[in-house]
């Protein structure tokens, strides 16, 4: 997998364009671990680095259940693929997390928790928490970034929006405009009848 610089986000690299949903769903557990490690530690091309002391002198101490674990030779601490990240203490398979990331970032207008839960076959609460974790991870990458770049200024235009405050529709002050319309119609009808009577009374034929 090609290496990237620290300033470039993984989703902007050529490696991200090859990570499709069909590819993720066809991954085995070992292949999913390899892809996750390459995304987690891009500077070492997927070689584990201790999150406690940043030491790359680690050795494999996989659990009897098959869960991937490494032990640091410097601080003697155990860590996993998700230690020190938002996905720590995860209960879903790594393949599911990779699929959720691919589904979430490929949506043009974002992905809601309910359709995400249907796509992954998990509960709504699980998809809701997972979507927020993905959003938080994406926001952490751009935290502290200056608009326009380092040493540059960004100019924006000011504008005023709104200004009209709609008055409250209180029931005590509410006017039934239907009654006003019917009253006006009745008044116009009475005026027409009176005018018609006056014309008939003043007509020479009537005399």
Residue 128 confidence (pLDDT): 92
Residue 190 confidence (pLDDT): 77
Residue 15 confidence (pLDDT): 64
Residue 167 confidence (pLDDT): 78
Residue 88 confidence (pLDDT): 81
End-to-end CA distance of the chain: 110
Residue 183 confidence (pLDDT): 66
Look-up: residue for tokens 């209180």?
170
Q: What is the pLDDT along the chain (207 residues), one digit of tens a residue?
A: 455 455 566 667 776 666 778 888 888 888 888 888 888 888 888 888 888 888 888 888 888 877 788 888 888 888 888 888 777 887 888 888 888 888 887 887 788 889 889 988 889 999 998 888 888 887 777 777 777 777 777 777 887 777 777 778 787 777 776 766 666 667 777 777 777 777 777 766 545
Report pTM: 0.55
What DSSP string runs through the chain?
-----TTS-GGGSHHHHT--HHHHHT--HHHHHHHHHHHH-GGGTT----TTT----EEE---TT----EEETTT--EE-TTTTSTTTT--S-HHHHHHHHHHHHH-SS---HHHHHHHHT--HHHHHHHHHHHHHHHHHHSTTPPTT-TT------------PPPPP--STT---HHHHHHHHHHHHHHHHHHHHHHHHHH-TTT-
Residue 124 confidence (pLDDT): 92
């Amino acid at each position: 997998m090609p290496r990237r610089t620290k300033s470039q986000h993984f989703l902007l690299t050529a490696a991200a364009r090859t990570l499709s949903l069909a590819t993720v769903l066809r991954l085995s557990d070992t292949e999913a671990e390899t892809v996750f490690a390459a995304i987690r530690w891009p500077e070492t091309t997927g070689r584990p680095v201790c999150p406690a002391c940043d030491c790359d002198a680690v050795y494999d101490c996989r659990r009897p259940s098959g869960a991937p674990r490494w032990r640091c030779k410097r601080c003697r601490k155990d860590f996993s693929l998700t230690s020190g990240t938002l996905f720590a203490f995860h209960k879903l398979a790594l393949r599911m997390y990779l699929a959720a990331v691919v589904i979430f970032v490929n949506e043009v207008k974002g992905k809601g928790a309910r359709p995400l839960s249907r796509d992954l076959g998990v509960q709504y609460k699980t998809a809701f928490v997972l979507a927020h974790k993905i959003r938080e991870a994406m926001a952490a990458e751009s935290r502290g970034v200056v608009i326009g770049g380092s040493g540059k200024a960004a100019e924006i235009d000011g504008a005023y929006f709104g200004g009209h405050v709609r008055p409250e529709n209180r029931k005590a002050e509410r006017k039934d405009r239907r009654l006003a319309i019917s009253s006006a119609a009745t008044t116009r009808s009475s005026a027409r009848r009176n005018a018609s009577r006056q014309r008939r009374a003043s007509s020479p034929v009537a005399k």
